[in-house]
Amino acid sequence: MIYGVVALAALLLGATALAGTGAFGAAKSLTVGSPQPELTPFAVGSGGGGTGSGAVLPDGSVVLASLSTPATTAVVCTLVPGGRKCASGATLAAYSGRGEQDSFSGVPEVVSTGGTDVSVVLEDCCSVPLFAGVGGAVVFESTNDGRSFSPEIPAGAIQAVDSATFADGQIVVASSETTSLNVQALAVVPDPALGAPAHPNARGDGDTALSTYDGGVLVASDDAHGNTLVEFAHRGANFNLTSSYGQPVGVFYGEDLAGVSSDALLTYSSTSVAGATLRFFNGSSFGAPHRVPAPAGGAERYWSIEVTGSLVHVFFLDSAQGSQVYCESTRNGLNWSQLVTYNPAENAGVLDPVLGPSGSGLLFEARVLSPPALAQPVLNYQSVVIRLARLRAPAGKRTTLTGQAEPALSDQVVTLERRIATGQWSNISVTRESVAGRFSFTVPGISDVYRATVAYEPGFYLVGYSNAVDLTAVVPPRSKPRSKSE
């Protein structure tokens, strides 16, 4: 199987089709190439094996953090766009002093706070002097795209850090405890006063997830009975006050929490019902439920969600298909892209999409059975369509092959290939895209099959493979010589 290729075509074309009928056949005729080495998973640092998260910074750099084993340290891996190994790495150490060695717990949350600034938030338990022996949130700050970090800074009294977002100029974190849900806003420059967190609800808490909506904070959690609750604090509210969250804006019985991103909430059945459900928040409540399409007879696990722009990406692992990883996307929950197939993730315990504004990035497999942590590239598809000025040309007479690539990447390298055997192609000429994504080649008047490939854009776009076109050379019939009687 060619993982991630046919379906990735559907992902981008689906974004266009979603606005219309949802049908892909009317878009373009595509022949997808093989192999796609740019999709191969790779290790991200020597650490790993614990929980982790990541963020894409404004310049396209990806910062990943995961707990080490033992959890006295966390490791940070920073990658440049398209990089397949850490361009830089950092080790973040838990408190050690007065004869005590602390450990981190929960998830090391990576939060982009603007420009080249990025923070990693963890819980350190329990000997930091300001924490009075009960532990709390600590922040490691970077001002250079995650290449180096400050020493540990005590930042909040919340115990356990399991989710984070950046809202209204603050780092907001949430914990999962057995007694209640806790949420705390941390100043980008931490305040050593360490105020108390808010308690949006008093139910026994399981999973938690946060997202930023219109400058406010959506707080989603599920309880011990398999129900999901969502609270919302508006922009400008004090995120550290319980009263800022008011009554739940959504309560969904029999549904466990998979994740929340922007205005999109993903849940799955807490019983034996397969599949997941997507809902959208409108500022005061959630709209109608939408079922996420999934393979028949599948055994889905590790549902996760991330919104980029107006496109919702839903990832999951199907253990009935050899731990195959899939993704589907939608803008409205009604029309969905075709199933995107990624490489299997046999050792993963969680799938964390770390995507930039264009939808490209990485699928982070932080919680693996053994180190190192792994990442799979998530890349956008380049649609390439070619046509011949004529399908039949006089032998020896040249004709023109023209093409259109989408999206248009000005000056991107385009290679013309001819088929030399079934599934085998040979490069014969190179040109570049125009500003509008157009290109052309002159081809000889001989019978041949052609396709065009558009170069890989590291970190953003897969190699684009066009449809194939067949040129037939026509030999004019010989004229009969005239007889003497004519």
Q: What is the pLDDT of residues 186-226, one digit of tens each?
A: 987 776 667 789 998 877 668 899 999 999 999 999 988 88
**Cis peptide leading into residue 35 (ω within 30°):** yes
Q: Is the pLDDT of residue 90 over 90?
A: yes
- Using CA atoms, how far apart are residues 172 and 79, in angstroms rounded to an integer? 25
Q: Is the pLDDT of residue 9 over 50?
A: no
Strand partners, 121: 109, 139
How do strand 469-474 and strand 392-394 relate by DSSP bridges?
A: parallel
- Using CA atoms, how far apart are residues 313 and 280, in angstroms rounded to an integer? 13
- Using CA atoms, how far apart are residues 455 and 430, in angstroms rounded to an integer? 11
Which residue ranges does the chain devote to CATH 2.130.10.10?
A: 6-378
Q: Which of 475, 477, 469 is nearest to 31 (CA)?
A: 469
Residue 308 phi/psi, 5-degree rounding, is -125, 120
Q: What is the pLDDT of residues 304-361, one digit of tens each?
A: 999 999 999 999 998 888 888 999 999 999 999 988 888 888 888 889 999 999 999 9
Q: Please calculate the CA angle 164-135-69 and round it to the nearest 5 degrees.
A: 75
- For residues 458-475, give the mean pLDDT: 93
- Using CA atoms, how far apart are residues 63 and 60, in angstroms rounded to an integer? 10
- Using CA atoms, how far apart are residues 227 and 151, in angstroms rounded to an integer? 39
Q: Quickly list DSSP for 314-346.
A: EEEEEGGGTSEEEEEEESSSSSBPPPEEE---T
CATH architecture of the domain 6-378 equals 7 Propeller (2.130)
Query: Distances from the Cα of 72 to the Cαs of 33, 46, 95, 125, 202, in angstroms?
Result: 45, 15, 8, 10, 31
Q: Is the pLDDT of residue 19 over 90?
A: no
Q: What is the dihedral of CA 137, 122, 239, 200, to 10 degrees?
A: -90
pLDDT score recorded for residue 479: 64
Q: For the stretch 110-123, what's the b/e string if a residue is b when 16 or more beta carbons lie within 10 angstroms of its beta carbon?
A: bbbbeebbbbbbbb
Q: Is the pLDDT of residue 273 over 80?
A: no
Largest CA distance in the chain: 120
pLDDT score recorded for residue 271: 82
Q: Is the pLDDT of residue 436 over 90?
A: yes
User: In the predicted model, what is the mean pLDDT of the chain?
Assistant: 87
> Looking at the domain 383-474, which fold is it?
Immunoglobulin-like (2.60.40)
**Percentage of residues of the chain with pLDDT beyond 70:** 88
- For residues 237-241, give the mean pLDDT: 95
pLDDT score recorded for residue 294: 84
Which residue ranges does the chain devote to CATH 2.60.40.10?
A: 383-474
Q: What is the pLDDT of residues 370-396, one digit of tens each?
A: 778 889 999 998 999 999 999 998 998
Residue 15 phi/psi, 5-degree rounding, is -60, -35
| Total-model pTM | 0.86
- Using CA atoms, how far apart are residues 90 and 74, in angstroms rounded to an integer? 8
Q: What is the pLDDT of residues 297-320, one digit of tens each?
A: 778 889 999 999 999 999 999 888
Q: Which three-class secondary structure string do you get for 401-445?
A: EEEEEECCCCCCEEEEEEEEECCEEEEEEEEECCCCCEEEEEECC
DSSP H/E element including 16: helix 6-17
pLDDT score recorded for residue 279: 98
Strand partners, 206: none
* Residue 200: Cβ-neighbour burial (10 angstroms; 0-12, 13-18, 19+): buried
